[in-house]
Amino acid sequence: MNEKRILVIAGPTAVGKTEYAIEAARAFNGEIVSCDSMQLYKYMDIGSAKPSQAERSQAVHHMIDFLDPREEFSVARYQEMARRTIDEILSRGKLPVISGGTGLYLNSILYDMDFAGASGNPGLREELKAKAAAEGPESLHRMLSELDPDAAERIHPNNVKKVIRAIERLEAGEGRVRPFDGNISENPDYDPLMVCLTRDREELYDRINRRVDALVEAGLIDEVKKLTGMGLTAEDISMKGIGYKEIIEYLDGETSLEEAVDKIKKNTRHYAKRQLTWFRRYDRIHLFDLSAYLTDQEAKRGFISWLEKKL
């Protein structure tokens, strides 16, 4: 096998990345490296749809379930840890299978993003404050959504200070870079085979809706209660994830449970749409339509057969 070869399995939430990554890892002597900004947190198993213990027993998983949700975490730290893990897997002659839907984290693996020396920009900060005062906080949040959808998901539009800081970090190089404009170089250490799993939109949205119902049934509300009991609040980055922030609103009496669940479904569908837009912009990515198959088993066989020809 190519000593630089890595397999990237991307795609929108609820498309089936976990099970297909496991299939690939088992078929090609691989180990899975998570590229999900929520699954790295401990105690957040349900809302993050973290691989179950049964799933983890089928393939080695890295970069999940290790970080205290009260601890700060950066893309720079993810990049360092993920690349070190990938290099270690390659050194053992195995295939790193990068699986997840956080585009910013994937960029940090695939591109030479330099996080050193970035700092705030007072001039930009004052300009953004003026924009918020003149046009309202939503104008800044829309700006952030264009630059980094993941950050926009985590930060409430009314939290102007955090929105401004996020935009500052992006402009300074601490956050998302935009490799799609050709101004950033690919990481020469890896030779990625990139696949984006897709499904028919209605099928994907139905899977999202059913997953949200299943997460609530599995104990999402109690999980959020446990986390708030640990001192976490809606202001913690770890609690900005879809599923957690909406349940906090319910627990705070701001919405009914039905409204919170509906909001989780809607926000997840919107996020899935943004994820697809992000992944389709990679030049070398292959879109693999799981809806083209009659059954999941046929889709898995087709997926593995396609990988055999490419790896």
| Per-residue pLDDT tens over the stretch 82-129 | 999 999 999 999 999 999 999 889 999 999 876 654 445 666 777 778
Query: E-strand spans in 43-199?
Result: 61-62, 95-99, 191-198
**What pLDDT score was predicted for residue 148?**
77
**What pLDDT score was predicted for residue 74?**
83
**What pLDDT score was predicted for residue 118?**
46
Taking residues 206-231, what's their average pLDDT?
98
Map out the domains of the chain with their CATH numbers. Answer: 5-113+177-310 (3.40.50.300), 122-172 (1.10.20.140)
Percent helix, strand, coil in the chain, to 5, is 55, 10, 35
d(CA 175, CA 172): 8
**What pLDDT score was predicted for residue 156?**
83
What residues are paired with 197 via a beta bridge?
288
Q: Which of the four pLDDT bands, split at 50, 70 and 90, describes residue 59?
A: very high
Taking residues 46-68, what's their average pLDDT?
97
CA 245, 81, 65, 307 torsion: positive or negative? positive
Looking at the chain, the whole-number percentage of residues with pLDDT higher than 90 is 68
The answer, yes or no, to whether residue 173 has pLDDT greater than 60, is no
